[in-house]
Chains A and B, each alone.
Chain A
């Protein structure tokens, strides 16, 4: 056996000198000698729970063949803290504190879903001003939530600047929410019967200041990230979820609307004061990551429109209905759903007549989005897997509960 191939490149073993460019020896076109006989191995990559682009403590096991994902399995439960069980030991007014910490990016929507379910059992008539305040706060919270998604989705695709601009706008929103509710993230603002505090004059000023700049800022966002050719190359045609898959997995919200079905709880089963609002539902039928991006950016513009209507037409009156201090709903059950930034967020509440819920079931929209993303991962590239997981907007607090 000629031992030279062990120390030298296989191409040098042929008689033809490699400088002759007119003829390429067969051995040069193949991999160096010895490698052909080997089997390639599939690699299992453990992405998470500590990974900068899994948006929390998601762990995804990826089986890779080269750079292609062959199989994907997500492991959840790293943030399981028993919100549903603990709600059985909280009075009705206190469950909101737990709901806030479920989907911590959009607390108002979580509280609202629980409050609507409790009101449905108790048959409370909520004052009109409270309904409008709920819509106002929910839409402000929706913009704040989409800004978190927008900032981190850009990070997933390799951009950095848009994150800082998103946080700039979010700070203005959190100032408004803090002024009204007293907290930057965990509001506990929406209670069964209404809202806990009226809007303050300083908050109205802040909302007007926010509304005067947000349109130009949204244009800026569209140019900065959406108009970026590299970003478009990373997201166009990547991670396509067709409508059948989307419906089969129970996707809701922007993920479903990006796949071509215009289902929106705010339009189809109006709650609070959404039937009085004039807004459009942005849609797309492409189903790829770019479509999801465009739908969410469109939703932010629509949310700004709703905030404008709320602040102009806010009716006078009480902000809290006459409800007893300790709520004791009659025996019964109710399901209430809201359109959270991630989709249909539902609360199924069962009451046994005591001052704590008998059972509270919480439908987290991100759980279904994660399963759909997991299903479309095989066949994509590893770099695209990060983009796909980012595009469906998962919040692990909501998934694990």
Chain B
């Protein structure tokens, strides 16, 4: 069994480039410093603060969308903001992920009755992880990042399996 780690199909010697890249992506998920509303205090400020310290997971904030991998939509998105959110998402380089943080970004939350409010940011950009709560605790956002890491490694496996399948 032990020798399989070195010579087996998914071993270190025969690691595929996708696996290597996705392993690197999993551990350097830089998010964009883009707080919209209340959730930004919890999900962006306290997250990078001393108690929760997302930096230890490789999760750190960047000021520009060009340098970011993850967009945390932290707050209510209204019609005026939606175009900006989409534009910022388009400016991020591939591969990119979106976390819808809080009730507002997921469904419209307590403001969904108001006609100006977009009922969930998934109407504007594709969302990978939804975080419930109003606002979610920083631990919830931490868990969302763990789920995102899982999702990235699952996607690698799926891609590889699909390629094996098509190759016969």
Contact = CB atoms under 8 A, between A and B. Distances in A.
Given A49-B81, A81-B76, A89-B113, A171 B135 contact: no
Contact of B46 (A57, A82, A171): A171
Interface string A49-78: 110100011000000000000000000011
Given A49-B84, A89-B113, A167 B38 contact: no
Given A50-B84, A151-B45, A167-B46, A86 B78 contact: no
Contacts of A397: 37-38
Contact of B41 (A52, A77, A148): A148
Interface residues of A, number: 34
B113 A56 contact: no
Contact of B78 (A78, A97, A151): A78
Given A49-B84, A57-B81, A105-B41, A79 B36 contact: yes
Interface in B1-48: 32-38, 40-42, 45-46, 48
B149 to A, nearest CB: 24
A185 B134 CA distance: 9
Interface in A89-109: 89, 97-98, 101, 104-105
Contacts of A185: 38, 41-42, 135
Contacts of B36: 56-57, 78-79
A269 interface: no
A208 interface: no
Contact of A82 (B37, B75, B111): B111
Interface of A: 49-50, 52, 56-57, 77-83, 85-86, 89, 97-98, 101, 104-105, 148, 151, 163-164, 167-168, 170-171, 174, 184-186, 396-397
18 contacts: A50-B88, A52-B63, A56-B37, A79-B36, A79-B78, A79-B81, A80-B78, A80-B80, A81-B78, A82-B111, A97-B110, A101-B110, A104-B38, A105-B41, A164-B49, A171-B50, A184-B42, A184-B135
